[in-house]
Amino acid sequence: MTEKTPRSLRLGVAGPVGTGKSSVIATLCRHLRDEFALGVITNDIYTDEDARFLKSAGVLPEERIRAVETGACPHTAIRDDVTMNLMAVEDMERDFAPLDIVLVESGGDNLTATFSPALVDAQLFVLDVAGGGDVARKGGPGIARADLLIINKIDLGPHVDVDVAQMVADAEGAREGKPVLALSRKHPDTIEKLCDWVRQLHAAHAAGHHTPVDPGPMAPHHHPHDSNHAHGHSHD
Ligand SMILES: Nc1nc2c(ncn2[C@@H]2O[C@H](COP(=O)(O)OP(=O)(O)O)[C@@H](O)[C@H]2O)c(=O)[nH]1
Ligand SMILES: [Mg+2]
């Protein structure tokens, strides 16, 4: 009889700033913490703001929430050189073994940032209705090929004149059958769907049936350096 000790499911949460990545992680922790052993890694450029938010929300014991301060490009730390994040995930897995799921929040400075499959087994991409109904149509690797696309804050649709059903349909059109989930932390039925998706993914991962898929690299882009950004480069 061989003892089965599958590594934790590493689940990335990417998307532009303010769409609700930390909130999604908080929601998942609240609803799944009695079912799964969880850990969280956050990525910020200069601070540990997201980790502090999650700690103060009390969604997990504080020591299970750790921040990676990426400096420079937050997308580099989840995509091109994932060493800092990989070490943080592995430390967490070792310190709290056995962990079932480690959630990794991206620093999200860019609509097209995606995680490397070397860091996470699967990834969520989070958009929100407040960003505008046309965002989903604009595409990009995360929108097109993340394992799950979340259209968040659907409770705000009427306030920002966004037709949620249309935005979801546009998103589905950009994804060739991959799933899209309309979410609001104010709509419990949508939270339950999100939790079910994670449960199924975890089961597939634990059974060895889940294969990580690379959404592909971000689009070539350039950082303007009129800010106090401490580095200068372009990617292509
Ligand atoms: N109305 C509404 N606001 C939300 C929802 N989810 C998140 N927010 C708010 O959106 C803002 C940004 O959320 P946050 O999780 O920090 O975004 P992040 O930058 O992607 O991590 C915060 O003020 C949240 O309270 C939602 O479902 N509905
Ligand atoms: Mg955040």
User: What's the CATH code of the domain at 60?
Assistant: 3.40.50.300
Give the range of the structural domain holding residue 201, as residue numbers without chain letter. 9-211
Where would I find the H helices in the chain? 21-32, 49-56, 74-79, 83-95, 135-138, 141-145, 164-173, 188-206
Q: Does the residue 63 lie in any domain? A: yes
Euclidean distance between CA atoms 117 and 115, whole angstroms: 6
Where does the pLDDT of residue 171 fall: very low under 50, low under 70, confident under 90, or very high at 90 and above?
very high
188 is in an annotated binding site: no
Burial class (CB in 10 A: 0-12, 13-18, 19+), 71: middle
Give the other-Cβ count within 10 Å of 221's Cβ: 13
- What does the CA dihedral 25, 52, 106, 222 come to, rounded to 10 degrees? 150
Q: Which of 23, 31, 65, 111 to mutate to test the pocket of ligand 1 (most atoms within 8 A of CB)?
A: 23
Euclidean distance between CA atoms 96 and 90, whole angstroms: 10
Q: Does the residue 167 lie in any domain? A: yes
- Give nearest CA residue, ligand 1 atom 2: 153
Q: Does the residue 221 lie in any domain? A: no
pLDDT at 70 (0 to 100): 81
Lowest mean pLDDT across 4-13, 72-81, 210-219, 227-236: 227-236
Cα-to-centroid distance, 67 and ligand 2 (Å): 11
- pLDDT tens for 78-131 read 988 999 999 999 999 999 999 999 999 998 667 778 999 999 999 999 999 999
- For residue 39, the cross-strand partners are 102
Mean pLDDT computed over 225-233: 42
Euclidean distance between CA atoms 68 and 99, whole angstroms: 19
CA 204, distance to chain mean position in Å, is 19
User: Residues with beta carbon inside 6 Å of ligand 1?
Assistant: 15, 17-23, 108, 152-153, 155-156, 184-186
**Which of 10, 11, 8 lies closest to 124, judged by CA?**
11
- For residue 152, the cross-strand partners are 128
16 is in an annotated binding site: yes
Work out whether strand 180-182 and strand 38-44 pair parallel, antiparallel, or are unpaired: unpaired
19 is in an annotated binding site: yes
pLDDT at 46 (0 to 100): 78
- pLDDT tens for 196-207 read 999 999 999 999
Give the other-Cβ count within 10 Å of 61's Cβ: 12
Residues with CB under 5 A from ligand 2 (ion): 21-22, 50
Lowest mean pLDDT across 147-161, 188-202, 211-225: 211-225
17 is in an annotated binding site: yes
Q: Does the residue 1 lie in any domain? A: no
Cα-to-centroid distance, 94 and ligand 1 (Å): 31
Burial class (CB in 10 A: 0-12, 13-18, 19+), 79: buried
Q: Does the residue 229 lie in any domain? A: no
Give the other-Cβ count within 10 Å of 191's Cβ: 19
Where does the pLDDT of residue 232 fall: very low under 50, low under 70, confident under 90, or very high at 90 and above?
very low
Mean pLDDT computed over 215-219: 77
Higher pLDDT, 160 or 232: 160
Q: Does the residue 225 lie in any domain? A: no
Overall domain count for the chain: 1
Give the global pTM: 0.91
Lowest mean pLDDT across 108-117, 144-153, 222-231: 222-231
Where does the pLDDT of residue 163 fall: very low under 50, low under 70, confident under 90, or very high at 90 and above?
very high
Cα-to-centroid distance, 105 and ligand 2 (Å): 7
**Which of 202, 212, 198 lies closest to 28, judged by CA?**
198
The answer to whether residue 233 scores a pLDDT higher than 70 is no
pLDDT at 3 (0 to 100): 46
